[in-house]
Amino acid sequence: MSTRRVSATAMTLLTSLLAAVFAGCGGGSASSSASGNGIAEKSPSEMLSAAKSAAEAASSVHVSGSIVNAGSSITLDMNLLAGKGGRGKLSEDGLSFELIELGSTVYIKGSPAFYKHIGGGAAAQLFQGKWLKASAGDSDFASLGQITDMRQLLDQTITNHGVSLTKLGSSTVAGQKVIGIADASDHGALYIAATGKPYPIQVSKSGSGSGKITFDRWNEAVELAAPANAIDVAQLQHAGH
């Protein structure tokens, strides 16, 4: 079994997941008006700017949700720590893997189905219950930085909007009062906290590529630790040549 083939196939799946997560924000419903932190009185562009400033100043965030992309159901559940990395779990149509990025190293532990899908029965047996590790600079793993880099992910989420923005009324997301911005170019919306700091709370999309990604647990503690006995992908690749 070629470990290069395993990692390359895995990256193909991860790339499709990233494309879905960053495809843009989508439609939602809201009503009436809100007051609290002044965000309701701002223009859509000012709201985006305020949300971006709040997010950039945060130390951590929890990101979770699901999206349907090209008929596939994709979910993610990540805890991100600014400037350090992140940890969590991602899946596509039942193929799931745990992910940790700490400093300059990426760690992945796939489910048996994930390992079997990317490398066949041999990979499933060889890697069952085990973590793989690689340099974050490895070309096969570099795209994972888009998920575990808190600043990059939030910047992609907040700025990935068209120019046809309109302000929605108030609504509630996970118990948080929010104000929405609708994006006519992709049938979607970004919801921003209407009380406290104007953090981005949710992006949602209707129609093609529908789904929701929610941001919560702002500034809560996130513990990151390297898993023990991780298998070095670089050594496996060298042994496979």
* HEC-encoded secondary structure of 14-44: HHHHHHHHCCCCECCCCECCCCCCCHHHCCH
pLDDT at residue 230 in the model? 94
More confident residue, 25 or 187: 187
Is it the case that residue 78 has pLDDT exceeding 90?
yes
Report the share of the chain in percent with pLDDT over 90.
Answer: 39
pLDDT at 4: 47
Close Cβ partners of 228 (under 8 Å, ≥ 6 residues apart): none
The pLDDT tens digits of the residues spanning 203-229 come to: 888 776 678 889 999 999 999 999 999
pLDDT (tens digit per residue) in 123-180: 888 889 999 998 887 766 767 777 888 988 888 777 655 567 889 889 999 889 999 9
Paired residues of 133 in beta bridges? 107, 232
What does pTM read for this prediction?
0.82
3-class secondary-structure state, position 163: coil
pLDDT of 58 higher than 70? yes
Rounded CA separation 45/50 (Å)? 9
> What's the pLDDT at 92?
83
> CA–CA separation, 30 vs 7, rounded Å?
43
Domains and their CATH numbers in the chain: 3-234 (2.50.20.20)
Q: Are 21 and 147 in contact (CB under 8 A)?
A: yes
